[in-house]
Chains A and B, each alone.
Chain A
Amino acid sequence: MSTARVAMNRQGVEDAYAEPMNFLEIDVLDPQTHGLGRARYTDYEIRLRTNLPVFKVQEAVVRRRYSDFEWLKNELERDSKILVPALPGKAIMKQLPLLTKDEGIFEDAFIEERRKGLEVFINKIAGHPLAQNERCLHMFLVDRRIDRNYTPGKIR
């Protein structure tokens, strides 16, 4: 029984010390609440930084609200084969007046919990090779506005 190693190519110095080719970071930052009274909503800054060639840009900054994340989840559940992770809660109960003594979904603590959940959510999805094929993901991360009348499709 021979247990000698099979012939291996030696790794070049350039490859060994090259910049990693798998850099993908998405930050969800800077929650802002807009509007007054019942017409208020909160949106977040989505900052993409990457060197993956599948994302045609290396950096992108957009603002998105919770319902935009819901839209993305539905598009991916319908069109892609991936198991889409869960979003942080919708908190219907907190939106009913009289039932809440505080600001409900505009409380700082609630917004921070939601921000963290959205960050985990978008990083999980964007790193999935099958989700990276979907046009809806790229539109979500890069385009200024989400066009809900777009034609769904794959990009490669």
Chain B
Amino acid sequence: MTFPSIFLFIQSFFGFGQTAQIDIVLDDKSTRPQIEVKDEEGHKNQLYLFLDGETVKGQVHINLKTPGKKLEHNGIKVEFLGQIEMFYDRGNHHEFTSLVRELAPPGEMTRSQTFQFEFQNVEKSHESYNGINVRLRYLLRVTIVRRLADITKELDLWVHQYSILPKINNSIKMEVGIEDCLHIEFEYSKSKYYLKDAIVGKIYFLLVRIKIKHMELAIIKRESTGTGPNVYNESETITKYEIMDGAPVRGESIPIRLFLAGFELAPTMRDINKKFSVRYYLNLVLVDEEERRYFKQQEITLWRKKEDGETAEQYLVS
């Protein structure tokens, strides 16, 4: 048996784990929107949704399992935490936000109790993110500090960050090709797209000397973790969308219209706390009759727009 499992065995044998049950309940639980989030194992959880600057307040109920039996402790506290977890470095959580409220000084609890807490106008500088190799999470943690083993309870929260309409949003327009084989000019109408936007553009063929079978546009998410020489990239194809079937000739223009609302997308995250980035790319792929692939990748910026009337909505995030 490993050390932690021996520890838990002793705990349950002596009933330490069962001594108290902690429940965290938010004051605005009936009005606050919730969001469905998939965790590491793929289970879906409903989490409360918060924005930057919003107050986090509620109650902590501590139920003593065996009434009459008192619970000795070295203090009870509730913390609001924002942390970045790297999956390859499990024990190492980087906390970028940490606030604490003392609920009770060291003493004993003789009966079940309820404590109020409030974290006013909490700054939440980043959007929550559950990724392939990294996670950014916000949580409330209640700790009953004790000599042998603390009793803790966590409540995960989810945070969205809104951006305002970008002042500058240039189109992406470029001519690329292989000398004497294939020259195309591609244009995407914007470089910054909000999550329910549409990618509108065109591909114009200047020279076609290969036998093209079809052309597709893919959205790729690339997650970079680590810094300097230890950067680790992992890419995921969000979708592949065929925009042309058949062989084009010189002078033809192929329109692009790809609606983003149907895909699981989150805003571009650049160098969050110098720990990780999540970037999105459009990958234009042409396939010829021998299955040879010619492609051009271009980064786009995704941002979250504040919709009107966004109150108790349910939408998917992974």
For residue B201, CB closer than 8 A to chain A, the reply is: yes
In the bound assembly, the distance between CA atoms of A119 and B78 in angstroms comes to 75
Cross-chain contact of A6 among B189, B249, B250, B252 (Cβ < 8 A): B189
For residue B198, CB closer than 8 A to chain A, the reply is: yes
For residue A5, CB closer than 8 A to chain B, the reply is: yes
- A13 nearest in chain B by CB position: B251
For residue A128, CB closer than 8 A to chain B, the reply is: yes
Number of A-B contacts (CB under 8 A): 72
- B212 nearest in chain A by CB position: A22
Within 8 A of B (CB), among A1-55: 1-6, 8-9, 11-12, 15-16, 18, 20-22, 52-54
For residue B288, CB closer than 8 A to chain A, the reply is: yes
Chain B residues within an 8 Å CB radius of A124 = 290
In the bound assembly, the distance between CA atoms of A20 and B212 in angstroms comes to 12
- B199 nearest in chain A by CB position: A3
Q: Are A15 and B249 in contact (CB under 8 A)?
A: yes
For residue A127, CB closer than 8 A to chain B, the reply is: yes
Q: Are B292 and A128 in contact (CB under 8 A)?
A: yes
- A21 nearest in chain B by CB position: B209
Chain B residues within an 8 Å CB radius of A20 = 247, 249
Q: Are A127 and B288 in contact (CB under 8 A)?
A: yes
Known contacts A3-B257, A8-B202: A127-B251 contact under CB 8 Å? no
For residue B180, CB closer than 8 A to chain A, the reply is: yes
- A54 nearest in chain B by CB position: B180
Q: Are B252 and A22 in contact (CB under 8 A)?
A: no
Cross-chain contact of A5 among B197, B200, B289 (Cβ < 8 A): B200
Q: Are A16 and B251 in contact (CB under 8 A)?
A: yes
Cross-chain contact of B250 among A5, A8, A18, A52 (Cβ < 8 A): A18
User: Could you say which interface size class chain B belongs to?
Assistant: 20 to 34
In the bound assembly, the distance between CA atoms of A87 and B217 in angstroms comes to 34
Q: Are A2 and B200 in contact (CB under 8 A)?
A: yes
How far in angstroms is the closest Cβ of chain B from A119? Answer: 13
Q: Are B198 and A6 in contact (CB under 8 A)?
A: no
The listed residue with most A CB atoms (<10 A of its CB), out of B171, B201, B250, is B250
Chain B residues within an 8 Å CB radius of A21 = 207-209, 249-250
For residue A89, CB closer than 8 A to chain B, the reply is: no
Q: Are A52 and B209 in contact (CB under 8 A)?
A: yes
Q: Are A9 and B251 in contact (CB under 8 A)?
A: yes
Chain B residues within an 8 Å CB radius of A8 = 202, 204, 253, 255
Q: Are A1 and B202 in contact (CB under 8 A)?
A: no
Q: Are B197 and A1 in contact (CB under 8 A)?
A: yes
Within 8 A of B (CB), among A109-156: 124, 127-129, 156
Extra 6 A-B pairs, beta carbons < 8 Å, given A6-B201, A129-B178: A1-B197, A6-B189, A21-B209, A21-B249, A22-B209, A52-B209
Query: Which residues of B approach A to under 8 Å, CB–CB?
Result: 171, 178-182, 187, 189, 196-198, 200-202, 204, 207-211, 247, 249-253, 255, 257, 288-290, 292
Query: Which residues of A approach B to under 8 Å, CB–CB?
Result: 1-6, 8-9, 11-12, 15-16, 18, 20-22, 52-54, 124, 127-129, 156
Closest 6 CB pairs of A and B: A15-B251, A11-B251, A8-B253, A129-B181, A22-B209, A15-B250
